[in-house]
Amino acid sequence: MSLNKPSSPFPTTGYFGPKYFCDRDDETKSLISKLQNGESCLVLGIRRLGKTALIHHVLYHMPKSWNTIYLDILHTENEYGLLNAIASGLLRSIPEKSIFGNKVWDFIKSLRPTISFDPLTGYPQVGFDVKEPDKQIKDIFRFLAESSKPTVIAIDEFQQIAHYPEKNTDAWLRSLMQTLPQVHFLFAGSQQHILSNLFSDPGKPFFKSASPLKIGKISEAAYSSFIIKSFKRSGSDISPEVVAEILKWTQLHTYYVQLLCNRVFATGERVIINETWQQEANKLLMENEPFFIHYRSMLTGPQWNLLKSIAKDRIVREPTSKSFVEKHKLGSPSTVLRSLETLQQKELVFKEYDENGNPFYSVYDVLFEQWIAGKFAF
Ligand SMILES: Nc1ncnc2c1ncn2[C@@H]1O[C@H](COP(=O)(O)OP(=O)(O)OP(=O)(O)O)[C@@H](O)[C@H]1O
Ligand SMILES: [Mg+2]
């Protein structure tokens, strides 16, 4: 896999290789060893924590004796879309100049698709006009199974198949997987509840078909030394104390850490002090204010009040408890419960479990939380 160099040591999209990727050593090792052991895996975790980047990191580190294929099926709406995504993912992931790459191109061409190239990225895009896309998908997977190398196919945003109008995609995909001993799957997605449902409901075809790995936040120690090192490499100085403040403000949530560090780096300052990041953090809040005001306008009074209360407390363990409801004047526990459901559906609040398995609720978007907490008197 050839990778471009990012414009910042703190990219906020994409994967640019180990130099720009912090930690996740244990997760990477565990996924690689399971895949090598013939298990398919499922990466779970709240949004913007780094599931997609971790998948790319794992594929990057798979031994050269493996074929690695990545596809994102977020924009697919049915089995045709899935077929096109698989064929495009295959052409993008296998270098055309290799012997196997030649075979792949010949094989895909034999299925008579239209092949175009994305004008921005130059990536091939494949389109089929067929009656039964599942047949072609099966053919592609069987073709891969004939390769002399084992293959790992990473399917990101896999929950999408639950939205397809065809009702049995999971059933035939699962039975197809079972006939391909040389092909292993690495699944991930951003809608945790749908994914968990697909894999943990005994009535569903994917039940227990992949070994789950739940990712959490990167440790403060690892992120801190990564940030200091990355600034130093570019000739800037930042102290562990200032980094600790940044990590506190961004709550160690990967995307927000990257975003703030990206902005701080872009200031070009040689010595980063607290004022540097605080100014950038304020700018981010101001830039995003129109979105936050829009979110607020989508909510009813009780929903907004509950969101404000969760933002203020940061972590809420018992949102319907007397003490929480009374402290924030939220009316009745049943109103809170209804509002909480809506806030979760709108992905403004998420439910997670701590290391002891106890549930808690927090505001999803760190910037939104900081905006609410800073803007509204309680
Ligand atoms: N370990 C890491 N080190 C440095 N940057 C990372 C790391 N993991 C993720 N990132 C960066 O954080 C951002 C969010 O990561 P990513 O898109 O992988 O999250 P995700 O969990 O897949 O999100 P979503 O649930 O929305 O799909 C990206 O910009 C990515 O480059
Ligand atoms: Mg992702």
- SS3 labels along the chain: CCCCCCCCCCCCCCCCCHHHCCCCHHHHHHHHHHHHCCCCEEEECCCCCCHHHHHHHHHHHCCCCCEEEEEECCCCCCHHHHHHHHHHHHHHHCCCCCHHHHHHHHHHHHCCCEEEECCCCCCEEEECCCCCHHHHHHHHHHHHHCCCCCEEEEEECHHHHHHCCCCCHHHHHHHHHHCCCCEEEEEECCCHHHHHHHHHCCCCCCCCCCEEEECCCCCHHHHHHHHHHHHHHCCCEECHHHHHHHHHHCCCCHHHHHHHHHHHHHCCCCEECHHHHHHHHHHHHHHHHHHHHHHHHCCCHHHHHHHHHHHHHCCECCCCCHHHHHHCCCCCHHHHHHHHHHHHHCCCEEEEECCCCCEEEEECCHHHHHHHHHHCCC
56 CB near ligand 1 (under 6 Å): no
Task: Give per-residue pLDDT as tens, 271-290.
Answer: 999 999 999 999 999 999 99
Distance 345 CA to ligand 2 centre (A): 18
- Domain assignment present for residue 257? The answer is yes
Residue 1 confidence class, pLDDT cut points 50, 70, 90: low
* Stretch 252-280: mean pLDDT: 97
Q: What percent of the chain has pLDDT over 90?
A: 76
> Is residue 85 pLDDT above 60, yes or no?
yes
Q: Is 21 in the pocket of ligand 1 (CB under 6 A)?
A: yes
pLDDT of residue 97: 82
Residues 126 and 209 in one domain: yes
Q: How large is the average pLDDT for residues 213-232? A: 97
Residues with CB under 5 A from ligand 2 (ion): 51-52
The model's pTM is 0.93
**pLDDT at res. 377:** 57
Asked if the structure places residue 17 within a domain, the reply is no
Asked if residue 364 has pLDDT above 70, the reply is yes
**How far away, in angstroms, is 80 Cα from ligand 2 center?**
22
Nearest-CA residue for atom 25 of ligand 1: 47
Distance 157 CA to ligand 2 centre (A): 7
Kindly report the CATH number assigned to the domain that includes residue 329.
Answer: 1.10.10.10
**Residue 9 in domain:** no
Would residue 90 count as lying in a domain?
yes
In terms of domains, do 264 and 227 share one?
A: yes
The CB of 258 under 6 Å from ligand 1? The reply is yes
Pocket flag, ligand 1, residue 190 (CB < 6 Å): yes
Residue where a domain terminates, one of 262, 292, 322: 292
Q: Does residue 259 belong to any structural domain of this protein?
A: yes
pLDDT of residue 125: 87
Pick the residue whose CA is nearest to atom 15 on ligand 1: 50
Domain CATH code at residue 225? 1.10.8
Q: From the CB of 48, is ligand 1 less than 6 Å away?
A: yes
* Same domain, residue pair 179 and 47: yes
Q: What is the pLDDT of residues 72-83, one digit of tens each?
A: 999 999 999 999
223 lines ligand 1 (CB under 6 A): no
- Whether 6 is covered by a domain: the verdict is no
Mean pLDDT of the chain, nearest integer: 93
For residues 85-101, give the mean pLDDT. Answer: 87
Domain boundary pick from 214, 236, 262: 214
Cβ of residue 49 lying under 6 Å from some atom of ligand 1: yes
Does ligand 1 come within 6 angstroms of the Cβ of 328?
A: no
Ligand nearest to the CA of 53: 1
Q: Is residue 4 part of a domain?
A: no
**Do 96 and 189 fall into the same domain?**
yes
- Taking the CA of 47 as reference, the closest ligand is 1
Same domain, 178 and 307: no
- Residue 16 belongs to a domain: no
Instruction: Give yes or no for residue 13 CB within 6 A of ligand 1.
Output: yes
CA of 179 to the centre of ligand 2 (A): 28
Which residue owns the Cα nearest ligand 1 atom 23? 48
Specify whether 304 is located in the same domain as 288: no
**Structural domain containing residue 39:** 24-214
Mean pLDDT of 27-46: 96
